Structure 1
């Protein structure tokens, strides 16, 4: 388990200030979701199309400042978004990047990885297989291994999102976000605990690594079979995510494939926002009733990524 505190999040915010984009936050019309006051945090508007820029920027800046960046550059395994962010951050600093992705990774993400200058290697059909290939590559070449969600720089970087949302939404009570391996969740939970906020962790029913870990009391392997698996397809949550799920005020909920698809479609029909299924997973907690807010509760829903093919909205 990673030993992190809110001080790490604040240090990350200083490192990435002026590098990542401040999150735009928009209000949802009153009455749209029960009697709650709901906001959408559009962190998919980062340079690489997802919140992952925060962790990648912190990772690169931290290792460069420490003189710990090897000539072989960085290597990462990713369902797509962490790799994109890593490639973006590496390109910004003139550092080589090698990204291992499953063969099932969306073509739009693979194409963008190559646009950022990364060497892309497609291995296996699940994140875990790409991760093992990346580990071997790091051992053979000396490339600095970055983890998609279980790295102190990555988690602390992800945690910088919540202070920005709080600044935009005074009196915020709750933040709702989708969970894969748990990097965004852990970083957010660290910040949330410092400010007395609730975190609603949303996962697909067939892709529920954190929910299963909470239920079992330990990290366990789960089935990965969801329309959102390209972003949320970790077979197991990180021990850090489980620790913060127990420590912070956390509500874990599950949503169905149909509810994810409907929420994604509604974002397009009602707001002309094209997001990944993972981003829609967070909103589906509200639109499906999986999470029922109290009257007047101020809620921010994190729309975490938009590296997707608009043609799949049909």
Structure 2
């Protein structure tokens, strides 16, 4: 910094103000300092600046898996939104979603020097009564029911499910079968509960749900079973990938969609409009979830306060060609 000041003919304090982007330096002087920086190959020491300011302008992200569409798209939105705010993102995948693993992840993030943490809890395997995150760490959790302890940003799982079930019942189906996600998944459980409640509210009996693991292959296996159920005329799949496998199974078993069986998914992945037939599904705004996660955690950082509560991002039903009134028998 002293060398830059000497070449530019300014004080070290002026160099510091320019390198940190502070106002109060006239344009000509700023350009002279920047030219000296380029000439000397000067780069500000981000670690030293962070220690001086007391912040690192970095958000840590803990995620249990990068294999699901929702997590990847949420992470992409977090990285984009953080960059727009001048923050970097440090990603720390956790192989096993256990209490000890998450505690260890927070410790490692502390060593990496982050200002706050976003936890993407796609699977709800943590016992909320046992998980106690460090009180000084600003935290936002995505996809969780921990809103009584932390800031939570979640998709309106229940609202989207109710819209899907009502759509099928309004078409004239007597009930709706459910291709559910894994039991340990918070999102899958929330959708299954809302499916069952929507049927009960309409006075319809809920068939025994068939479970998959979010993959198209598991949807195909479940679909082979559902195709054998003569009274199955409508299926709500907990995600689009399983719906894709279901469509294949129904086709192979000679059950036409939507003439024999109507199918609805959840997520509205980019490919869902290209399924055969194009899939009716519940749209999740993953970009908005990621944006609100960043917005919420930075608000805590800037106000130096911890927030508690849940923000729900609305869903909407996208009607395509995979649903129709049941065939008259």
Larger Rg: 2
- Larger RCO (CA under 8 A, 6+ residues apart): 1
TM-score normalised by the chain length of structure 1: 0.34
TM-score normalised by the chain length of structure 2: 0.32
